[in-house]
């Protein structure tokens, strides 16, 4: 079979042994098991031929993009690892229609740069954008910091091209905003983590690039005050708030310890720290005034000033230039690096309704006090969409305690009407949570879909769905 694959792709694009080893490592450098081979197709036709051969021989295939996932979704011991890294073309950018047609191996940051030349943005932003690829972010329905204004990846995609496990190519490359012609297979493939098909290209929605940003670090008394501020800012700006990011006291301290050259956001330390960013697209909000100030920045300062007088805000610093803005963002985007510097650590990716976030954080405090009173809670959150990245530095190396904390946090999120997986997907790590918390009828329907599209079970086997 490997000889047939070499004939199909060319020997340089079928990696085995030591050449394949780097692809077996996940984002954190953990070995996920040696694949049978790493395949690097250069076209959709080659992906189709690979899957036809794999289906005929019942050989498992695991699609992989930028390998920035955190849930073991690309583990491929003994399987063919299908890398889309060569399929990275940006086929077309159509500014008038505000769409970009790109291949699955295009790196997210490269897409950002390409559309920026047209005064547009593809508004999916997170720390790994320099290596994450379009196929991966679609397969996991990635979120990031701008979901508040623009939605998840699912909301940013108009059409797909994909190859089914049998090798059939499905052309769903619509550029339409309205299309009610039967089942929405596009949405079935997005977020399926490569278990139903291999995404090879997509039509992405683009938006006007903000002409100016108003960015600030704000300290508030509690989460309730933060959400009240968010609602007011959205009302005042016509829902132009792009990011509303929560960082607790312990995270700020850990960030300063990790990066000694960094500055504290405020002279005093506060429990609840929020990064706010407003994107101004209207000229009236982004044209400098006579004194050089920007109306959107002045407006944010005015709103925060009123909140300070009422006691709804405890402290605030508004960025006055791009360097200060980048400094604020660097603090938030270092979260994964900061939290993972401590060994061991306990983490989870959960979501709760916005008005239950304060309850969720109180539950975490209670759980920590019960299992490990000295542990440090470094959880950060995309507060505007209810996604909490739970992260804890425990004082014990007892893995039983770690698992107990993890499971208790998960159960607390479910009890508050939330989810055990917000934006990182399921992979292998969250299959136990799927078995414990997902509606049985929903799981049954998912298994039926998987069986119908992949009857031989070759595509990313062992991921997402727990055993019946």
> How many helices, marked H, and strands, marked E, lie in the chain?
16, 19
Instruction: Report residue 69's pLDDT band, with 50, 70 and 90 as the boundaries.
Output: confident
Q: Enter the pTM of the model.
A: 0.92
pLDDT at 204: 98
Higher pLDDT, 27 or 329: 329
pLDDT at 28: 65
pLDDT digits over 284-312, tens only? 999 999 998 999 999 999 999 999 999 99
pLDDT at 93 over 90: yes
> How far apart are alpha carbons 206 and 204 in whole angstroms?
6
Domains in the chain (CATH in brackets) are 2-83 (3.30.43.10), 90-208 (3.30.465.10), 212-335 (3.30.70.2190), 337-415 (3.30.70.2740)
Give phi and psi for 186, each to the nearest 5: -55, -50
pLDDT digits over 311-365, tens only? 999 999 999 999 999 999 999 999 988 988 888 999 999 999 999 999 999 999 9
Higher pLDDT, 75 or 283: 283
pLDDT at 336: 87
- Considering the chain, what percentage of its residues have pLDDT values greater than 70? 99
pLDDT at 29: 66
> How far apart are alpha carbons 163 and 54 in whole angstroms?
13
Task: Say whether 372 sits in a helix, a strand or coil.
Answer: coil
Place of tokens 């929020």: 274
pLDDT digits over 159-170, tens only? 999 999 999 999
Average pLDDT over residues 25-41: 82
pLDDT at 79 over 70: yes
What letter would DSSP give residue 3? H
Q: Which of 468, 391, 453 is closest to 188 using CA atoms?
A: 453
pLDDT digits over 188-223, tens only? 999 999 999 999 999 999 999 999 999 999 999 999
Between helices 399-415 and 357-371, what is the axis angle to 10°? 150
pLDDT at 343: 87
pLDDT at 66: 76
pLDDT at 192: 96
pLDDT digits over 230-254, tens only? 999 999 999 999 999 999 999 999 9
**3-state helix, strand and coil shares in percent for the chain, rounded to the nearest 5:** 40, 20, 40
pLDDT digits over 101-136, tens only? 999 999 999 999 999 999 999 999 987 888 899 999
pLDDT at 371 over 70: yes
Provide the mean pLDDT of the chain: 94
Average pLDDT over residues 259-277: 97
Higher pLDDT, 22 or 434: 434
- What is the four-CA torsion angle of 212, 264, 127, 276, rounded to 10 degrees? -40
pLDDT digits over 393-433, tens only? 999 999 999 999 999 999 999 999 999 999 888 998 899 99
Instruction: Report residue 27's pLDDT band, with 50, 70 and 90 as the boundaries.
Output: low
CB-CB contact of 66 with 131 (8 Å): yes
pLDDT at 136: 94
- Considering the chain, what percentage of its residues have pLDDT values greater than 90? 88
Average pLDDT over residues 433-440: 95
């Amino acid at each position: 079979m490997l000889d047939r694959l070499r004939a199909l792709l060319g020997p340089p694009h079928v990696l085995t042994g030591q050449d394949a080893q780097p692809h077996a490592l996940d984002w954190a450098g953990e070995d996920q098991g040696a694949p049978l081979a790493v395949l690097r197709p250069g076209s959709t036709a080659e992906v189709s031929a690979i899957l036809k051969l794999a289906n005929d021989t019942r050989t498992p295939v695991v699609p992989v993009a930028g390998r920035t996932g955190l849930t073991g979704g690309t583990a491929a011991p003994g399987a063919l690892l299908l890398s889309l890294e060569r399929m990275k073309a940006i086929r077309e950018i159509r500014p008038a229609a505000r769409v970009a047609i790109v291949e699955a191996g295009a790196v997210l940051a490269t897409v950002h740069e390409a559309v920026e030349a047209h005064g547009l943005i593809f508004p999916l932003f997170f720390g790994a954008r320099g290596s994450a690829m379009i196929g991966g972010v679609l397969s996991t329905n990635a979120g990031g910091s701008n979901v508040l204004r623009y939605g998840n990846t699912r909301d940013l995609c108009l059409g797909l091209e994909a190859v089914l496990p049998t090798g059939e190519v499905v052309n769903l490359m619509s550029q339409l905003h309205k299309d009610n012609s039967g089942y929405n297979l596009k949405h079935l493939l997005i977020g399926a983590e490569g278990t139903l098909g291999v995404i090879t290209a997509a039509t992405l929605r683009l938006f006007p690039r903000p002409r100016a940003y108003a960015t600030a670090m704000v300290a508030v008394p509690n989460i309730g005050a933060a959400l009240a501020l968010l609602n007011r800012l959205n009302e005042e700006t016509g829902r132009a708030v792009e990011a509303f990011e929560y960082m607790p006291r312990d995270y700020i301290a850990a960030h300063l310890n990790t990066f000694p050259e960094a500055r504290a956001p405020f002279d005093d330390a506060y429990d609840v720290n929020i990064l706010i960013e407003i994107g101004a697209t209207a000229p009236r909000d982004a044209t400098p005034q006579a004194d050089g100030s920007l109306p959107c920045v002045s407006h944010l300062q005015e709103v925060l000033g009123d909140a300070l007088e009422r006691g709804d805000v405890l402290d605030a610093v508004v960025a006055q230039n791009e360097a200060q803005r980048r400094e604020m963002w660097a603090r938030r985007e270092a979260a994964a690096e900061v939290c993972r510097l401590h060994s061991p650590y306990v983490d989870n990716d959960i979501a709760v309704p916005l008005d239950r976030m304060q309850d969720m954080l109180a539950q975490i405090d209670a759980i920590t006090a019960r299992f490990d009173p000295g542990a440090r809670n470094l959880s950060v959150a995309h507060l505007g969409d209810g996604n909490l990245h739970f992260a804890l530095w425990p004082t014990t190396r007892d893995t039983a305690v770690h698992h107990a904390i993890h499971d208790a946090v998960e159960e607390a999120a479910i009890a508050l009407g939330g989810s055990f997986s917000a934006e990182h997907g399921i992979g292998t790590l969250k299959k136990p949570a799927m078995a414990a918390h997902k509606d049985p009828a929903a799981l049954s329907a998912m298994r039926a879909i998987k069986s119908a599209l992949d009857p031989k079970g070759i595509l990313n086997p062992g991921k997402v769905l727990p055993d019946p």
